Structure 1
């Protein structure tokens, strides 16, 4: 993943929002995979993606919910695609 690719992904998909609790690291990668799919790119493995984020200056923090990138929020078509596909894979509550 080149610096220009990570920059484009971040411009297209991420908003800095101090009022937001942040994006879980796994969801961040899922958003990236959705972005790749919509832009006809082959996603890099998760570890390479996390390295690219670190090189771009983004560092996750350990929270009670795992690793989170604080004050970041998803936006754009890839966010919609990721959210719709994530909820479609969640099994329905049997109650």
Structure 2
């Protein structure tokens, strides 16, 4: 059973979009989750527990077209946490 906090995060921040060829990598998804937790005054799970919760929720990483592992295909960010994550990320 998916932890309620993760279910709410996925509902608030993730859209399934099969036209999105790039998807989201695991690090980006965790960063988005941390932003969501901050905005919602929740304590984030550690990265390893977060990834386990995603697997329980039925999300699995795949190789993208370039052979990179760790991509959640067909997902994109949405909502205030996505804006917060993008504005506060540094490349």
Q: State the TM-score, normalizing by the size of structure 1.
A: 0.85
* CA distance, structure 1, for counterparts of residue 37 and residue 50 of structure 2: 12
Instruction: Map 1:1-95 onto structure 2 (within 5 A).
Output: 3-20=3-20, 21-63=22-64, 64-86=67-89, 89-90=90-91
Q: Deviations over 1:29-51 (max 9, x none)?
A: 00000000000011111000000
Unaligned runs of 5+ in 2: none
RMSD of aligned residue pairs (Cα, Å): 1.2
Bigger fraction of residues in strand: 1
For the residue of structure 2 that corresponds to 1:73, the secondary structure is: strand
Which runs of no fewer than 5 residues in structure 1 stay unpaired? 91-95
For these two proteins, the number of residue pairs brought into alignment is 87
- Whichever structure has more helix as a proportion of its residues is 1
Q: Secondary structure at the match of 2:52?
A: helix
